[in-house]
Amino acid sequence: MKNNFVFSLFILILVVMFSVSSCFAAEKILFALVGPMTGDSAAEGLQMLEATKLAVKEINESGGVNGKEFEYIVGDDEANANQAAMVAQKFSSNKDILAILGPNNSSCAISALPTYEKAGIPMISPLTSNPTLTKLGHKNFVRIYINDDIQAVDMSKFCVIELGFKNVGILWENTDWGKGVRDIAAKTIPELGGKVLGDESFVTAVDKDYSSVITKFKGAGVDCVLLVGEYTASALFLMQSRNLGYNVQVVGGAGSSHPKLIEIAGKVSEGFYADCNFNPYDERPKAAKFIASYQAFSKFKDSPGEWGAYTYDVIYLLKKAIEMGGTTREKLIEVLHNPDFEFDGVTGFIKFDQYGDVLGKKPLFLKVESGKFVNYTLTKM
């Protein structure tokens, strides 16, 4: 009898302990941040991570989400589609993850999306832009970044109309993002009265020598290069073209407006323009508050670019969606695709169309002056 009583008491204690631990576990809301934490695009991923740390700290210190705290894990996709697929396989088996926030790269998203959809995990992307993503029919996907249909047209207008160059060369990274922008720009530039006199691709993180491209563009009479690549490729092209005596105007795509470009290219980065989707000098109260908070918080003490700002927004957007009933994966997907769902963030007003694309946002342009990126005011577009 005594042994039976002791055994029963032991079992009861275990049950109570398990219940208490389960209760504490339930007080956390887990999401996964996915982006390039290493490799040639690591500066972008690390800015995503800094913004995540800031947003989670603010939210948890102000009472959390429905009384629960945010918790997150990080996946490094290295801006590589194969690596993104492996990260997706790993995270899709974790039943505790409510949502995936990321990736930064369109090819990574296209590679990973089917796995996350099969697992029923919603994916909220802060920075992908390839139009294909929202045309593939994935029901678990939304993004807050404008797609390339809009960006490519505006970049083309910037080269031909704003800056007045008619002989354009397109240099593009051979990814879904790069090809998407290239295809639209190659069609749009002639429609605006310009000519595409050069059209070359490169493999990101592999091709480092652009001398042959520079020789082709220079010989063809290209006076403005629309460079669809990240900051490392843009910096290398700038340095090599100047070393070869080719003082062509370069306009970079989204992903090239990071201060790392100036750090790598140095003085030859002066006069470089970049398409950008967040103004780090924005004086709107909500944006200005975020910029100041990020600069004070970040261990890098840098200004937040679009990688930090858009990641910050998707975390607060996730918070709002959960508070509106998105407490499970299935319900979260429903809330995000509800036509009445909207969110006013530091990057602007966010509302999704039926495909998961954000509505109404327009790109901006920055210019390198005196060793830093500054806001460029359009005069002809």
Q: CATH number, domain at 219?
A: 3.40.50.2300
Contact predicate 238/252, CB 8 Å: no
Contact predicate 66/322, CB 8 Å: yes
Q: Are residues 56 and 122 in the same domain?
A: yes
Q: Are residues 164 and 271 in the same domain?
A: yes
Residue at 92 is within a domain: yes
Q: Are residues 174 and 261 in the same domain?
A: yes
Residue at 367 is within a domain: no
At 301, the pLDDT band (50, 70, 90 cuts) reads confident
Q: Are residues 142 and 205 in the same domain?
A: no
Q: What is the pTM of this model?
A: 0.83
At 280, the pLDDT band (50, 70, 90 cuts) reads confident
Residue range 342-354: mean pLDDT, rounded: 95
Residue at 371 is within a domain: no
Residue range 80-107: mean pLDDT, rounded: 97
Residue at 100 is within a domain: yes
pLDDT surpasses 80 at 236: yes
pLDDT surpasses 60 at 284: yes
Q: Are residues 244 and 339 in the same domain?
A: no
Residue range 365-381: mean pLDDT, rounded: 94
Q: Are residues 158 and 269 in the same domain?
A: yes
Among 253, 276, 299, the domain boundary falls at 276
Nearest to 295 by CA among 305, 306, 304, 282: 304
Q: Are residues 272 and 154 in the same domain?
A: yes
Residue range 92-96: mean pLDDT, rounded: 97
Residue at 125 is within a domain: yes
Residue at 119 is within a domain: yes
pLDDT surpasses 60 at 22: no
Q: Are residues 121 and 166 in the same domain?
A: no
227 φ/ψ angles, rounded to the nearest 5 degrees = -105, 110
| Strand runs labelled E in 174-310 | 195-202, 224-228, 249-252, 273-276
Dist. CA 44–CA 49, nearest whole Å: 9
Residue range 288-295: mean pLDDT, rounded: 96
Residue at 375 is within a domain: no
Contact predicate 346/286, CB 8 Å: yes
- Domain count of the fold of the chain: 2
Q: Are residues 61 and 156 in the same domain?
A: no
Residue at 220 is within a domain: yes
Q: Are residues 222 and 123 in the same domain?
A: no
Describe the strand order of the beta sheet including 249-252 as a list of residue ranges: 195-202, 167-173, 224-228, 249-252, 273-276, 364-369, 372-375
Mean pLDDT of the chain: 92
pLDDT score recorded for residue 148:
87
- Domain range holding 133? 24-146+283-361
Q: Are residues 54 and 164 in the same domain?
A: no
Q: Are residues 97 and 33 in the same domain?
A: yes
